[in-house]
């Protein structure tokens, strides 16, 4: 009857127990948290919470095992095993029959539409992120080109000055080479 008492707790309290289980908390800690939050409403002992945590652990493991089995079955069906795909279908029908409320609450068409909508949003978000990355890259390239241009300009200025200062002291051949390096005309020098 202990489980019934736990089930009678408000959903928040049951969520707290479940969160405790997920975080691997021990019964004493979860019980203390329950007392803190729900005080008078907690009409059972620490041992009950410990038992509930053990139950959750056991059920969770069984669930995991069944999920693994189902995953293998689906994998076999995807590889073309017709019998496996018929089994998957039969199990799906069985699930629908054994948990009709669950299926009504989560109308498959709505769930599918929701999943598609979610996928659309995810794709949009991914595209936006890509655009932002591309923009950042373009900006970086632009900055780098600006810096390069400034450097070239500076070098050109320096070369111009050097050529002017040197005047007749450098040979016309060297002057032509210098002008070529910095892509300057005689007039610009």
| Binding site residues, another protein, CB under 8 A | 58, 61-62, 65, 68-73, 75-76, 81, 83-84, 86-87, 89-91, 93-94, 97-98
Q: Least distance from C-beta 56 to another protein, angstroms?
A: 12
Q: Least distance from C-beta 140 to another protein, angstroms?
A: 50
Give CA angle at 10 (7, 11), nearest 5°: 85
DSSP 78: H
CB nearer another protein, residue 46 or residue 77: 77
Q: Least distance from C-beta 50 to another protein, angstroms?
A: 16
Question: How many other C-beta atoms are found inside a 10 Å radius of the C-beta of residue 42?
Answer: 19
CB nearer another protein, residue 62 or residue 155: 62
CB nearer another protein, residue 58 or residue 124: 58
CB nearer another protein, residue 13 or residue 76: 76
CB nearer another protein, residue 46 or residue 81: 81
Q: Least distance from C-beta 102 to another protein, angstroms?
A: 15
Taking the alpha carbons at both ends of the chain, their separation in whole angstroms is 100
Residue with tokens 């900006």, as numbered in its chain: 139
d(CA 167, CA 147): 30
Q: Least distance from C-beta 31 to another protein, angstroms?
A: 23
CB nearer another protein, residue 60 or residue 142: 60
Q: Are 17 and 29 in contact (CB under 8 A)?
A: no
Which ranges constitute the DSSP H helices of the chain? 2-8, 11-22, 27-38, 46-78, 82-98, 100-105, 108-166, 172-181
Q: Are 43 and 7 in contact (CB under 8 A)?
A: no
Q: Least distance from C-beta 84 to another protein, angstroms?
A: 5
User: Which pair of tokens denotes residue 76?
Assistant: 């076999």
């Amino acid at each position: 009857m202990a489980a019934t008492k736990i089930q009678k707790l408000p959903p928040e309290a049951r969520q707290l127990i479940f969160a405790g289980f997920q975080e691997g908390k021990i019964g004493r800690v979860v019980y203390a948290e329950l007392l803190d939050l729900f005080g008078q409403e907690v009409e059972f002992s620490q041992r009950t919470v410990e038992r509930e945590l053990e139950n959750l652990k056991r059920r969770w493991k069984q669930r995991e095992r069944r999920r693994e089995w189902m995953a293998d079955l689906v994998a076999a069906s995807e590889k073309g095993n017709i019998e496996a795909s018929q089994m998957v279908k039969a199990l799906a029908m069985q699930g629908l029959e054994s948990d009709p409320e669950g299926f009504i609450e989560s109308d498959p068409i709505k769930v599918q539409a929701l999943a598609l909508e979610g996928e659309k949003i995810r794709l949009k978000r991914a595209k936006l992120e890509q655009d932002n990355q591309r923009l950042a890259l373009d900006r970086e390239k632009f900055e780098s080109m600006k810096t390069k241009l400034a450097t070239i300009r500076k070098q050109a200025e320096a070369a111009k000055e050097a050529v002017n200062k040197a005047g007749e002291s450098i040979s016309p051949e060297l002057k032509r080479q210098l002008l070529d390096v910095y892509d300057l005309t005689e007039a610009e020098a």
